[in-house]
Amino acid sequence: MADAPGAVGETPPALVPSRITSLPPEALGASALHRATLSGDPAALAFYRWSPHDPAHRAEAARVAAEAATARGARDAVADVLAEQNRAWGATDAVLDLVETLRQPDAVAVVTGQQLGLFAGPLYTIWKARSAVRLAARLTEETGRPAVPVFWLADEDHDFAEIQRATFAVGEAVRHVAYDDGRPPEADRGPVGRMVLEEAATDAAIRQLADALPAGPQREEALRLAQDAYVPGRTMRDAFAALFRALVPDIVLMSADDARLKRLAAPLFVREATAWPDTLARLAERSEALAAAGFHIQVTPTPVNLFVMSDDARTPLDPVEGGGFVRRGLEEELSAEDLLARIDADPASISPNVVLRPLLQDTLLPTAAYVAGPGEAAYFAQLGPVYEAFGVPMPVIEPRLSLTLVEPGVAKVLDRYGLSVPDLGAGAVDAQQRLHALWRRLALDATDLDLDATFAAATSAALAAVDALEPVVEEVDGSMTSAVAAARRKVEKALASLATKTVRVEKRHHDDVRARLARAQAALWPEGALQERSLGPLGVVARHGAHALTELADAVPLDATLHHVVHT
């Protein structure tokens, strides 16, 4: 579908995909565990409490989650915080109504979440949110139970290097935009959500974005959305939330970095502080079982799944001999009593790691289902015994929708050369190697000369001629055998060099082929990564408008067992 012209601020027409096809997950290099889970293999599903393939399991998981949340008695307290947070982030009345729904004793949540990637992170962050919205609607339709989609802002994460860049494809180029505050990306800045946007770094990132966004009739809209959200003096969390709200307007946003919510979750922290050896043993046992079943281990079990957090640091706790803990990399030690006192006095300073974060989420929310990417789903395969130990119901782990968007120009390249999406990237160790190999094949196919066969025949004939001379030379002087072998190597090397040069010249004659392939690869596999894992959503907004993200994601079947290729 061609881009429709329109003035800045004018609502562009609805975007209907021209074609949707699907690929199996193995075509894109999915792990054995992910493939087995998507196919419904009992050996994989045994590591989860519920099957995402069974409506009866979904209904029962919802019942258990609703009853557990009501028994905990925190529905109103959580809803009060969510209402306040979402009003601050520009929620519509419809979203605030969803927050109110969570107060109902039979209501459940369908949750997903992600780190606070610059300018809304990679595209799959949007696909996760759209998956949660659609799965919540399906759960309500199946059970009659109100289900609310919730997006968990992973704002306590301290890995700044993972969130500081946004990526866009423009022609053959892959362009990066970075928030650079002058410190090394790997430096601990504390929870990234609390970072206050600095004027110089923010202005520079916006300027880079203006240069990196692809051309399109809604390019100014994309830039305006970023400028409205990423304002100096605002926190990284609030900036992300403001932009995400504009891109996914129909989901509840949630930050657990709130003293009121941490107070509700304090018993979770107390149990880990006092019974971490049990958590470690359960994780280790489950991990060994996964490995024995032929699946990979996503997270290595370690002691004490807690961090101590301040505005400028988030440090893990390590146990020390004889009891007590030490903040890793620091000299600060805490006795067991000190840690419990800290949890009681200031639970907001305690943060869960990847093992306990899902349990925090499902302690605060009536989570019937969690929408996970492949890596997250693998984490959950290890967590069943931990959920049991903490007395928290484990939700259904629903795989997220997986999409690749194919613009018309890219589709023409694929169709012209008979290529599929995996041909340009899946399984390639190096994206440039894959591009070069494709270019060579297509360039040779485009010529009437079969250069490979021609040079192979010539080389064979030349070497045969040298071989025929060998007995003659030996009869003249038997010591000249090595000279014949050397001549043979020189002939072979000279012809190989000539073949390489000839193919190189032929490829130059077909440089337009290389350029087309490079543009398609940048759009589908930027720097060797699958599009949804690398490119930012504002690139789609620039071409089609913010509404297109919803329209494209909602146009595909609600089937996460396949990867959907969506032609725009």
Q: Which residues in 115-164 belong to E strands, given as ranges?
A: 147-153
Q: Is residue 11 in a domain?
A: no
Burial of 182 (0-12, 13-18, 19+ CB in 10 A): exposed
Mean of pLDDT over the chain: 93
- Tell whether 335 and 372 lie within a shared domain: no
Q: Is residue 242 in a domain?
A: no
How many domains would you assign to the chain? 4
- Tell whether 415 and 367 lie within a shared domain: no
What span, in angstroms and rounded, lies between the C-alpha atoms of 520 and 405?
A: 11
Q: What is the per-residue DSSP string for 463-519? A: HHHHHHHHHHHHHH-GGGHHHHHHHHHHHHHHHHHHHHHHHHHHHHHTHHHHHHHHH
Q: What is the pLDDT of residue 448?
A: 58
Q: Is residue 6 in a domain?
A: no
- Tell whether 444 and 397 lie within a shared domain: no
Q: What is the pLDDT of residue 4?
A: 37
- Tell whether 323 and 175 lie within a shared domain: no
- Tell whether 143 and 216 lie within a shared domain: no
Structure tokens at 505: 């010249």
- Tell whether 519 and 554 lie within a shared domain: no
Q: Is residue 358 in a domain?
A: no
Place of tokens 């990284």: 236
Tell whether the model's pLDDT for residue 338 goes beyond 60: yes
Q: Is residue 2 in a domain?
A: no
- Tell whether 27 and 106 lie within a shared domain: yes
Structure tokens at 540: 């789609």
What span, in angstroms and rounded, lies between the C-alpha atoms of 139 and 133?
A: 10
Please list, in sequence order, all residues whose beta carbon lies within 8 angstroms of the beta carbon of residue 225, skipping any fewer than 6 positions away. Answer: 243, 246, 247, 538, 541, 546
Tens of pLDDT, residue by residue over 480-514, are: 888 888 888 998 999 899 888 877 776 666 778 88
What span, in angstroms and rounded, lies between the C-alpha atoms of 427 and 366?
A: 39
Cβ atoms of 501 and 375 within 8 Å: the answer is no
Cβ atoms of 318 and 304 within 8 Å: the answer is yes
Tell whether the model's pLDDT for residue 8 goes beyond 50: no
- Tell whether 372 and 493 lie within a shared domain: no
Q: Is residue 141 in a domain?
A: yes
- Look at strands 108-114 and 147-153 and give their pairing: parallel
- Tell whether 272 and 386 lie within a shared domain: no
Q: What is the DSSP letter of 14?
A: P
Q: Which structural domain range is residue 446 located in?
A: 408-526
State the alpha helices, DSSP H only, in 256-373: 259-292, 336-345, 357-364
pTM of the model: 0.87
Tell whether the model's pLDDT for residue 9 goes beyond 60: no
Count of other CB atoms within 10 angstroms of residue 284: 15
State mean pLDDT over 163-178.
97
Residues 460, 466, 469, CA angle at the centre, nearest 5°?
140
- Tell whether 34 and 127 lie within a shared domain: yes
- Tell whether 24 and 153 lie within a shared domain: yes
What span, in angstroms and rounded, lies between the C-alpha atoms of 287 and 471?
A: 67
Q: For residue 59, name the pLDDT band (cuts at 50, 70, 90).
A: very high
Sign of CA dihedral 122, 127, 130, 136: negative
Q: Is residue 80 in a domain?
A: yes
- Tell whether 189 and 84 lie within a shared domain: no
Count of other CB atoms within 10 angstroms of residue 426: 19
